[in-house]
Structure 1
Amino acid sequence: MDASRQIAARIEFLRRQLVDREPGPLRDAYLAVPTRERPVLQGTTTPALTQIWQQRPSGLITPATAETQPIDLIDVYLTFEEIFGFAAGPAYPVKQLQALPLGFVLQFCAELLNALSRPGASHSDVDRAFATQWLKEPIRTRVLNELRDPRRALVVPQALMLLARAAVEHSPDSLPDGAKPGNLIGALLAFSDMIGPSGEGGPTVLGEQPGDLGREVIANQYFNNNASVPHTFARYVRRWRELPQQFAGKDGLVDLPAVYEQCTGVTLDDLTVVAGALWAAACNGNVLTPTAELETLLPAGQVAKVLALISADLETLRQAVQSERARRHTEWTFDAFQQRPVIRLGAFLLVMDQRHLIDRAFGWLPILDVRFPPDTHPRPTNHEKLAGQAIRTLRRFSELYVSEVLHSITGQGTTTRRVYDDPELKAAFQGEGQKIADAAVDYGDTWVVVEVTTSQLQRDAATAVPGNAQVKDIDKLLEEVRQIDATIQALRRDESRLTGVSSQIRRRYLPLLLLTEGFPVNPVSMTVIRERAHKRGLLQGQDVMPLEVIDVEELEWIEALQEQQGVSLLAVVQRKQASSLERTSMRSFLADTITTPLSHPQRFEGKVSKALGPLEAVLLKRKQREP
């Protein structure tokens, strides 16, 4: 057969493959270009209804989609077996720790934890530096190649905490002369392998119960939540410094700084000086600080009083870890390190993790010092009543702070009208048994109904203890959701009682639950809370949008977005709920969708300096005393 006939035969073959099965009138009507993403049925130009699959960055194979999926937000850690080619038994890391000095292990863990939690730190940079410094060839090259995948990770923060806790239990203070040290890196990576679900299991289909894996997901997110330090400082200034001055003696509110000093014998200024100096040193890479250096900032007696609240020596740390053993059901129990984030090693102070230090001195946790004063300081005669007033005051100031952020957000742009706070809602919808939310924001065609709560995951829920601890905490939140639901119903019936004007349009309602101290929002927790709310008949109706749960830091990021790009709170939530990340946290959604860097809200101007003002003042005095 000559060449021309070969070509003609080939064309005829292709014609039959592409269009032979189509009706004659359609064969020349249009063209179709088959691609991998758009296959067609043989002999036709009809697209095949087939599912395209792809491997996600996590390694999981899922239906193909161009959007970021929740699974893409999860890093996949290298295992001991991947790195070394064999599995380590549970006895392996303990054996290594028995041949390693405790102080050395704790300092090693502190160096890595602080490197990971330092503001602006890159986890991938820490991983590469760790592999380069601590692994030998050819393992080093193999691990560095694995880490080129941006979703693979090496240093696990939880494994570092497990290593530190196990070292407190098993490592000696020192080794005998000539003793061969254990393999510290092997022990760390072995603990990474041992992290996983524990307990009796549970449902594998998400619904009203999180199940065993769901509990671990919630605890993991709670543990790894990284609060922004400037945001924490700004809230500290308002809640612990400025609002107490504005409201002291009003409505049963107390002066928090005065109560703190009365209950502990320590001023908030002294706490700021000690914690601030240790945090600044850790940010600069110095996790060990000589105690004598702090005593140049404050009188020695005052430094000791502060350290009695936030630090522990090795013996105290051992006792605290040992006391946890009887009630330690999971691998997320690190109370001893979180309550006392500074460890006294001889003449030095070791900051285990600056995240815990910031929370301990500038977050919610100073209220624990008011509730549980040190034994060395005499309690006020009315201590129990005073502590109760202090807790209620801090909760009230947290709610007032959220109101300030809402007013800041709605005070800019042209689409919003105003915020109606708790007093206005109560005045409009007062009545026996009427529940009221904390705020309602009028966006024209939509009401955003906000309930603020200072509730936090209780210990068993935060550490994934098998049972119903997480469900019980979620059910507590549903009581807050009832406030939102009741307010939506009141607005439906007659919103003119609040606004003074009857609405001429059909309204929609966005229920927004805001937790000031954070909550692990993920597909597991959001499915459980929405399912349980639905079962109770809450937030029903075509005019009610899905419940959104955010924390105050996420609200502050939305505030910055409003100021800098004019995007409203309602628009942000609507975009999130229309995306594939609808059941993830707001911060995950913002990190995935905002391509331009955001600065902090304008309200933060000067707040960081004010939070650290006592430290700056004593540093200035010390400099002036220098010759």
Structure 2
Amino acid sequence: MSDRHVAANLDRLYSLFCGDVAGKTESPYLTEIENGKPLISGTTTRLLSVQYVKRPSGIFVPDRVGVALAPIDLIKTYVTYEELVGVKSHLAAIIDALKKINTFQVIGFTSHWLARYYDPRVDHDRLDREFADLHFEGALHVRVTSFINEGRVLIAPQLLHAVAKLALMYSATEPSDPVDVGVLGMFPLALGDHLDQSGDIPDGENVTVDSDGKPGVLARHLISNQHLNRPLDAASLMASFSRRWREIPRENPHTDLGSFEDLYRTEVGIDLDELETVVIAIWSHVSLHHKSFIPTTYFNSCGVPPDRVVAVLSHLACTLDGLRYHLAKDIAELHGGFEWSIAPFERFPILAVDGGILVLDPRLLMRRAFGWLPYFDVLDKLNGEKRKTGQLRDYAGRVSEIYALEILESIAPRLRQSIFYEADLRLAYGVRRKVVDAVIDYGDRWIVVDVSTRQLMRESVAGTSSETVKKDLDTLVKAKAVQIQSTIDAIRNDEARLTGSPGNASAFYPVIVASEGFPVNPATSSMIEDLLRRENLLQGPGIAPVQIVDIAELEIVEGVQESGGPSLADLLERKRNAGLWRASLRDYIIVELRLAPKRPARLQALWQGLFQRVIEKVRPT
């Protein structure tokens, strides 16, 4: 921050703390005493500054905004070496230290703590304290414990991934004597000194969003941070995989491509049953035992022939040299991205080692197997065949849309026909009108929904490009907003053509379902609002701010409603005036409303069905 910025902030601070002598008052006192409005001691001068309170995030804010939750309360900040020791670490010294340590010892350290961190049963505060007890002694232990007591964190996935990447780049491959565990524990904190780019922001740059709708440095990093730390609901992921890539394609096979599992078997050479079984066996072992190394003999009892286990592991795993190559390639292609890009670990979440495998990150393994990467596996094997590639893209998009609409149908009111699909809208308003995938009728309120399978580009995920973030937003929001606006206009002009009876809709809630998620935060919300304002879309009276949700959030709403909670329309209406109105729907429901909905019955049946398939394959040891 420049000197002039500091001076300007001090001027503002000074003005907040200063006031004038009270003027004439009708009160019998020299100045009227009011609760919550203190005076400067010894004077009748009103203390114009507000009182400050500490938020759950640990940050002090004016008391007038300190009551309601705000997006800042969702942020956890990690402890750095400089904060702990008082002196900033030197990156060159970190690298020199890593050069003296065997790569596998460092990767073993990072993979162990990532396994602990992503245990579904974990208490992160307790885990931080265990990390502190193991790695720090004496005064350092006292100091680091005080940070934890203040709500700060020690274990941050970003830091552990950064240590792993730096070890791949610099650590020794030949055997070396094991280092003291305290040394390993210092590496994440020391790297934390060097991953904050706020000091590199040029003078005059808008750090959030500029006038052209492009995010600044801090906004880009907020997006990358939220994407990297997006929560994993393993049950939702497995249910989505089972329904989206297996059941729906079986029910609706492509005329030329067939079902997805047949296509995957043909192009990739692996059966989806084999993929499910091997990955669930690995994930269960890591989650239950916190052992990231798994010997080859472990797979003897997983019910899959040894040669097929090898085929699955060869597809998901990479050698040390191979991982180093992909890491260097990733950094070169992104022209940076070290802070946030974990693409090599996403593609290869398993490291092949002598006698077995090392699971680098169990969360990435689950996403690798049950997310969108199986689709990209097939796309890659098609090797640029334009016709088949185009067919697969359209087919995958359609299958994802069907799955999202099934959840919406489960959410919609059931007393009458309340959900209308694209075909219904086209029948009512004509094939030439732009319409959305579905609308839900709540009487005087409508939810207008369009589904997108658009995913953030690599540069957006890595935080290296403002242009790609803007392009992602334009592609996701602008085109969908045009369809939503057109649908709203049609319903307002003649609701009866759709429903068969006149209506008096007073409120519309635009919803974009980004099936693979999108980071919703104050920066992206501001960018969306500015974009829609410039395009004059969704600006009329009675139109709520557009909400971007993912599949897992729709399933949370489904669970809320099955538990007798508020409807989707009620949640969207209440969120408009909530403290977390610029945060995700998930955060609003779970953090601000403090609801803990059970998994919906539909989802339970899907993921348990997958688990049952795996159990039936497993032979007793």
Normalised TM-score (structure 1): 0.87
How far apart are the structure 2 equivalents of 1:61 and 1:238?
Answer: 46
Partner of 1:236: 241
1:387, distance to aligned residue in structure 2 (A): 4.2
Paired AA for residue 316 in structure 2: I
Query: What's the secondary structure of 2:563's corresponding residue?
Result: helix
Partner of 1:577: 576
The one of 269, 283, 286 aligned to 2:287? 283
Equivalence map 1:84-483=2 (5 Å): 84-149=85-150, 151-176=151-176, 183-197=183-197, 202-204=205-207, 206=209, 208-249=213-254, 254-284=258-288, 285-297=290-302, 298-328=304-334, 329-330=336-337, 331-373=339-381, 385-411=387-413, 418-432=418-432, 434-477=433-476, 478-483=478-483
Contact 2:457–2:472, Cα closer than 8 Å, also in 1: yes
Larger radius of gyration: 1
Equivalence map 1:586-605=2 (5 Å): 586-605=585-604
Partner of 2:17: none
Paired AA for residue 133 in structure 1: L
Contact 1:96–1:184, Cα closer than 8 Å, also in 2: no
1:48, distance to aligned residue in structure 2 (A): 8.6
How far apart are the structure 2 equivalents of 1:117 and 1:548?
Answer: 28
Contact 1:100–1:184, Cα closer than 8 Å, also in 2: no
Normalised TM-score (structure 2): 0.88
How far apart are the structure 2 equivalents of 1:569 and 1:95?
Answer: 55
1:386, distance to aligned residue in structure 2 (A): 3.6
Structure 1, unpaired ranges of 5+ = 1-18, 374-378
1:205, distance to aligned residue in structure 2 (A): 5.6
1:522, distance to aligned residue in structure 2 (A): 0.2
How far apart are the structure 2 equivalents of 1:76 and 1:179?
Answer: 28
Contact 2:279–2:366, Cα closer than 8 Å, also in 1: yes
Structure 2, unpaired ranges of 5+ = 1-21
Q: Aligned pair count?
A: 587
Query: What's the secondary structure of 1:327's corresponding residue?
Result: helix
1:336, distance to aligned residue in structure 2 (A): 0.9
How far apart are the structure 2 equivalents of 1:515 and 1:176?
Answer: 47
How far apart are the structure 2 equivalents of 1:295 and 1:128?
Answer: 37
Deviations, residues 311-350 of structure 1 (Å, cap 9, x unaligned):
1011211111122232242221211111010111111211
Paired AA for residue 135 in structure 1: F
Paired AA for residue 279 in structure 2: A
Q: Flag the 1:502–1:48 CA change in 2: closer, same or farther, 3 A.
A: farther
Deviations, residues 386-406 of structure 1 (Å, cap 9, x unaligned):
444333222212111111111
1:178, distance to aligned residue in structure 2 (A): 9.8
Contact 1:96–1:182, Cα closer than 8 Å, also in 2: no
Paired AA for residue 235 in structure 1: S
Contact 1:93–1:186, Cα closer than 8 Å, also in 2: no
Paired AA for residue 259 in structure 1: L
Paired AA for residue 97 in structure 1: L
Deviations, residues 505-561 of structure 1 (Å, cap 9, x unaligned):
252211111101000000001110121111011112112111111111111101111
Task: Report percent identity of matched pairs.
Answer: 30
1:287, distance to aligned residue in structure 2 (A): 1.3
Greater alpha carbon shift after TM alignment, 441-450 vs 391-400: 391-400
Q: Flag the 1:41–1:403 CA change in 2: closer, same or farther, 3 A.
A: same
1:189, distance to aligned residue in structure 2 (A): 1.4
Partner of 2:80: 79
Deviations, residues 194-230 of structure 1 (Å, cap 9, x unaligned):
1123776541464522211100000100010012011
Contact 2:261–2:272, Cα closer than 8 Å, also in 1: yes
1:85, distance to aligned residue in structure 2 (A): 2.3
How far apart are the structure 1 equivalents of 2:159 and 2:40?
Answer: 51
1:305, distance to aligned residue in structure 2 (A): 1.4
Paired AA for residue 397 in structure 1: V
How far apart are the structure 1 equivalents of 2:568 and 2:608?
Answer: 28
Q: Flag the 1:61–1:595 CA change in 2: closer, same or farther, 3 A.
A: closer
Paired AA for residue 69 in structure 2: T
How far apart are the structure 2 equivalents of 1:502 and 1:131?
Answer: 65
